[in-house]
Amino acid sequence: MAEVVLSHHVQGLTDGLRAFADELRRAGHAVHTPDLFEGRTFASIEEGFAFARGAGFEQLRERGIAEAEALGPALVYAGFSFGVTIAQRLAQTRSGARGALLIDSCLPLTEFGKAWPAGVPVQIHGKEADEYFEEDLPSARELASSTPHAELFVYPGDQHLFADSSLPAYDAEAAGTLLDRVRAFLASVR
């Protein structure tokens, strides 16, 4: 069993992300879903960005980091899009990380001033023609080639947030494949 902190995307902690976390719980994992927007969800990425801009991106990230740090160090850090900024930072900089799941985004390794930590497995998932993931794809490829413990999965299509079942971008087939890969990843984490 893995213990996971799942950081939500800019549309908030949606019902679809709660359902995703519940699927991982059914597989026997402990999954924490901090709600950085305090119950607010948004109908569009643009509305979510406007809220996050007003609240302060860095303040929201720091809240997510503080919530994860309060749980202890032996965690798998997972994030969807905006949540990747939290998950990747923690996985790269916090001692004791068990793994990382970066969904719909991937930042350059240099973003946090360090190489990927030795022995920490990571999976990166995104759609090949997703306008947001396309700009992150070079960073995802760099990360995947920098460590033998990395897997990059690129799915056909252009939907951002395709694994969130509560959003119009949901792609059931790709989301099912992603979920199977995530379950296998978490089963292998020690």
pLDDT computed for residue 63 by the predictor: 95
Residues 59, 20, 93, 146: what is their CA dihedral angle, to the nearest 10 degrees? -130
How far is residue 155 CA from its own chain's centroid?
Answer: 16
Distance (Å, whole) CA 141 – CA 32: 28
169-173 long-range contacts, CB within 8 A, separation 24+: 170/16, 171/127
pLDDT tens per residue across span 83-134: 999 999 999 999 999 999 999 999 999 999 878 999 999 999 999 999 999 9
Task: State pLDDT tens for residues 126-164.
Answer: 999 999 999 999 999 999 999 999 999 999 999 999 999
**Sequence ranges of the domains in the chain:** 3-188
Q: Which pLDDT score, from 0 to 100, does residue 109 have?
A: 94
| CATH number 1.10.10.10 is the correct assignment for the domain at 3-188 | no
User: Under a CB-based contact definition with an 8 Å cutoff, are residues 162 and 155 in contact?
Assistant: yes
Q: Which two tokens stand for residue 114?
A: 């360090």
CA–CA distance, 139 with 1 (Å, rounded to integer): 29
Supply the pLDDT for residue 111: 93
Q: Are 88 and 51 in contact (CB under 8 A)?
A: no
Strands (E) in 81-156, as ranges, are 99-103, 122-127, 150-155
Cβ distance 92 to 112 under 8 Å? yes
Q: What is the mean pLDDT of the chain?
A: 96
151: left (phi over 0), alpha (psi -120 to 50) or beta: beta
pLDDT of the residue at 158 = 98
Which strand ranges, in their side-by-side order, compose the sheet holding 76-80? 30-32, 3-7, 76-80, 99-103, 122-127, 150-155
pLDDT at 41 over 80: yes
Percent of the chain with pLDDT over 70: 100
Amino acid 175: pLDDT: 98
3-state secondary structure of 125: strand
Q: What is the pLDDT of residue 73?
A: 87
DSSP string, 16-55: HHHHHHHHHHHTT-EEE---TTTT---SSHHHHHHHHHHH
14 and 35 Cβ atoms separated by less than 8 Å: no
Residue 17 above 90 pLDDT?
yes
